[in-house]
Structure 1
């Protein structure tokens, strides 16, 4: 099976350890064309990447999303969560299998459901994610 090679942050690459869960990275599409980097699909990684693009300032400041063709105006503090929707990342209840688009919505579900109160979160990766494979240098393949 051929593997694609793509640029990721050094910190992300070194997080991938044999035996660990693979990391999933997504291609940046900010400013319509992106910067060529692949970013791990986590809130902390996306937030750091947004800062690298100069998207900084108070969380209450208005900013415009430039991911792909999006031009939605939102608060800067909501931008990371908004980018997760572009990536198609969702969360699933480990007990009943319900899928929500955000962690806070799944947390509300588990609090309101007696059978799901001890559930944990399963991440549902978006269709354009690439697995970071721990056995080789900078190799990856599309999430199936």
Structure 2
């Protein structure tokens, strides 16, 4: 099978190449002038990507989500978390198997569930994610 070529946020590409570990990336669907990039489905990568689009300012100001056809009004500080729900990224508890749509709800789960108290989150990739592998992987396969 031939590899699919996609445009990836340069920060994500650098991290994947330096770490030697794959990452799951998602096409940016912000309305307006499309950037055509794929961004990693992590809070830090999505937040940096939003800043690159000029979505900045105090966390408590109201803003409108412009991802795909969404037009939900929310606080700027909630935008990254909201976009991750658009990507379909979820968190699974490895102890009981509970799947949460956001990391903050996973933290609440382990806080109030005694058997899961020491659990670490397992990321569940969204359905439109593409696996980005380091170029070194192609040399060995």
TM over 0.5: yes
Contact 1:24 1:132 in 2 (8 A): yes
**Equivalent residues in 2 for 1:77-88, closer than 5 Å:** 77-88=77-88
Taking a change above 3 Å as real, the CA distance of residues 61 and 18 of structure 1, as seen in their structure-2 partners, is: closer
Cα separation, 2, equivalents of 1:82 and 1:33: 20
Contact preservation (8 Å) 1:92, 1:98: yes
Aligned equivalent of 1:92 = 92
The 1-side partners of 2:21 and 2:97 are apart by 20
The Cα RMSD (Å) is 2.1
Find out whether 1:10 has 2:35 as its counterpart. no
The 1:49/1:19 distance shift into structure 2, 3 A limit, reads closer
- For 1:16, what is the secondary structure of its paired residue? helix
Q: Between Structure 1 and Structure 2, which shows a larger proportion of helix residues? A: 2
What is the distance in 2 between the residues matched to 1:114 and 1:17? 39
Q: Which range moved further: 128-137 or 49-58? A: 128-137
- Aligned twin of 1:45: 45
CA shift for structure 1 position 78: 0.5
Runs of 4+ aligned structure 1 residues displaced above 6 Å come to none
Distance change >3 Å, CA 33–CA 125, structure 1 → 2? farther
Q: Residue 21 of structure 2 contacts residue 133 of structure 2 at CA under 8 Å; is this kept in 1?
A: no
CA distance in 1, matches of 2:124, 2:28: 19
Unaligned runs of 5+ in 1: 138-144
Tell me the TM-score normalised to structure 2 length.
Answer: 0.89
Alignment of 1:42-81 (within 5 A): 42-81=42-81
What does the per-residue CA deviation read over 1:11-30, in whole Å, with 9 as the maximum and x for residues that have no partner? 21121258854211100000
Alpha-carbon contact 1:94-1:122 (below 8 Å) kept: yes
